Every structure is written in structure tokens, then in C-alpha cells.
Chains A and B, each alone.
Chain A
Amino acid sequence: DAGVIQSPRHEVTEMGQEVTLRCKPISGHDYLFWYRQTMMRGLELLIYFNNNVPIDDSGMPEDRFSAKMPNASFSTLKIQPSEPRDSAVYFCASTLGLGDTGELFFGEGSRLTVL
């Protein structure tokens, strides 16, 4: 398996623009997570899905952020409009069941810079 695939790896945009980050989880995994990493706040959970259904979106910073999972093999995280404070590395991760393992498989991340 190719692992969790994220795109783009790097995105530079201007304040006010719409940003869409994409994730393809590992085939067969039924949980998908979006995390944000910054120097100040470390790794924060934004939202996670189970079987394509959002379970907990309490970490989504504000209404400018939205996430969807239209099918088992694809998820998007959208920021509209983007702001400089959204600059961070956004990680997608997937796993099979939360059961007694919970081991997450991470993508390489999408580094977002908002000017």
C-alpha cells in the first residue's frame, strides 16, 4: 500500500484566498483524522471521521474551516477565506478501528503558508 497520500505538499497563497487540502487514506481504513501542527501549539486534532461520517469537529478553529469525506478514499480540508495565522503543516492520518490499537498512519503533510 502507498500509505496515506496528501496533496499538495506545499501551498503558498495570499490572505483571503480559498485553500483546499486533500487526503487519500490507506485502503480499508475506516477512521480518518486531520491534525494541524504549529510551533506554538504543537499537534492539534481538528476533526475526525468514521466511515465517512464526521464524529468530532470540536477542534476546527472557526467557520472558515470545513472538512468533507465524500467517500472512503478521499477527504478534503478547506479554508475559506485563509488568514496568515492559518499557516501550519496539516496532517491527515488514518487507522483501522479505534479498538485496542489506535495506531495512526500519517501522511507526509501539507505545508501551508498564507501571506
Chain B
Amino acid sequence: AQSVAQPEDQVNVAEGNPLTVKCTYSVSGNPYLFWYVQYPNRGLQFLLKYITGDNLVKGSYGFEAEFNKSQTSFHLKKPSALVSDSALYFCAVRDSGAGTALIFGKGTTLSVSS
């Protein structure tokens, strides 16, 4: 069975500082990994994905994520946080060989202070 863990319920950073939101996963086969963002009272929006290839994936709004197979991690990063980045972030995984739906982590609230 596939699963996703986001070990931090909340991450607090100051504007201009780098940010990291952590994600680890478990799948039987090769993983397809995703990050989504949710603003208050809105649906989830796609940020970026890792399917294959370069372990460093770049996405929307200056976010990037690094796939680490040995650590089964896919941490979300941004070099310089903005107050407007404050939102709820979800990591999601799908087993490439299973043809199943995306399974989401519980989410991490990112709070960027000015």
C-alpha cells in the first residue's frame, strides 16, 4: 500500500528566508510524487511533480522539490519565502505501476511572517 507522511503540522519562517516542507513516502514500485497548495476556502492547486529524470524539480511560484530515492523523500523548498506563500501544502504519491489514485499527506501549514 502507498502512503505519504508530512512530519510537520506547521512550519514558520521569516520572509526572505529559505523554507523547507518535508515529505516522505512509501510505495511498492516507482513513485510519482506531487506537491499541491491550498489557500483558505479554495481547492488544491498543482505546484510541481516528479515522474522521472532529474531529481531536482522546479515548479510554480519559485518552488522546487528534490527527490531522494534512498531516503524516500520529496521535500519542498524555496530559496526566499514570501508572505504570500503562507498556505496549506500537501504532498501526494502514486505508485507508477499500480494505476491507482493519488494519496495525499495530511498537509503542512506554512506561515511566513513579515
A residues with a Cβ closer than 8 A to B are: 4, 33, 35, 41-43, 45, 48, 56, 91, 93, 98, 100-109
Contact = CB atoms under 8 A, between A and B. Distances in A.
Nearest to A44: B104
A101 B101 CA distance: 11
A109 B99 contact: no
A82 B57 CA distance: 43
Given A43-B90, A48-B101, A104 B107 contact: no
A68 B38 CA distance: 27
Contacts of B49: 101-103
A42 B106 contact: yes
B103 to A, nearest CB: 7
Contacts, number: 60
A43 B43 contact: no
Contact of B102 (A100, A104, A109): A104
A34 to B, nearest CB: 10
Interface string B96-114: 1001111111110000000
Nearest to A98: B99
Nearest to A4: B43
B96 A45 contact: no
9 nearest A-B pairs in the assembled complex, by CB-CB distance: A42-B106, A106-B43, A43-B104, A106-B44, A108-B43, A48-B101, A103-B46, A102-B94, A100-B51
Interface residues of B, number: 24
Interface in B62-100: 90, 94, 96, 99-100
Contacts of B107: 42-43
B34 interface: yes
B45 interface: yes
Contact of A33 (B42, B101, B105): B101
A106 B100 contact: no
Given A56-B100, A98-B99, A102-B32, A107 B105 contact: no
B105 A101 contact: no
A104 B105 contact: no
